[in-house]
Structure 1
Amino acid sequence: MTNLHDVGGMRKLNNDNYNTWSTCMMSYMQGQDLWEIFNGSEKEQPEVEYANGMLRKWKIKAGKAMYALKTAVEEDMLEHIRDVKTPNEAWETFTKLFSKKNDTKLQLLESELLSMKEGNMTIKQYFHKVKLLCREFSELDPIAPIGDTRMKRIIIHGLKP
Structure 2
Amino acid sequence: MRRTSYANVVINGANDDSENTPHDEVPNSGDLDDASFITSNGHPLYLQNVDHPGLVLISKKLTGTENFGPWKRSLSIALSAKNKLGLLNGSVPMPDAESPLRAQWERVNDMVISWILNTVSEEISNGMDFVNTAQEVWEELTGQFSSIDGHRIYQILKDLHALEQGDKSVEIYYHKMKNLWDEYVALEPTTTCKCSAKCDSHLVVEARHQRKRLLQFIIGLNDSFSNARGQILMMDPLPSITQAYSLVKQEEKQRQKHVSSNAFLGNVKSDISTTSPTVSSAGTNNVLPDSTSSKK
Q: Same fold (TM over 0.5)?
A: yes
The counterpart of 1:63, out of the listed 110, 115, 121, is 110
Q: CA deviation at 1:135?
A: 2.7
The counterpart of 2:95, out of the listed 23, 40, 46, is 46
Counterparts of residues 22-41 of structure 1 (less than 5 Å): 22-39=72-89, 41=91
Q: CA deviation at 1:14?
A: 1.2
Q: TM-score, normalised by structure 1?
A: 0.75
Residue 117 of structure 2 aligns with an amino acid whose one-letter code is K
How large is the Cα RMSD of the aligned pairs? Answer: 3.0
Q: Does 1:155 align with 2:246?
A: no
Paired residues in the alignment total 156
Cα-to-partner distance string for 1:93-115 (whole Å, 9 max, x where unaligned): 33344433544333322221111
The counterpart of 1:136, out of the listed 174, 180, 183, is 183
CA distance in 2, matches of 1:34, 1:105: 28
Which structure has the higher relative contact order (CA within 8 Å, separation 6+)? 1
Cα-to-partner distance string for 1:25-70 (whole Å, 9 max, x where unaligned): 234334444333223631x2113322xx211110011011111111
Q: Does 1:111 align with 2:158?
A: yes
- In the alignment, which residue of structure 2 is the partner of 1:4? 55
CA distance in 2, matches of 1:35, 1:110: 31
CA distance in 2, matches of 1:61, 1:88: 12
**Contact between 1:13 and 1:21, CA under 8 Å: does it hold in 2?**
yes
Q: CA deviation at 1:157?
A: 1.5
Structure ID, larger Rg: 2
Unaligned ranges ≥5, structure 1? none
**Contact between 1:101 and 1:140, CA under 8 Å: does it hold in 2?**
no
Large movers: runs of 4+ above 6 Å: 143-146
Q: TM-score, normalised by structure 2?
A: 0.45
Secondary structure of 1:34's partner?
Answer: coil
Cα 1:77–1:135 shift into 2, 3 Å: same
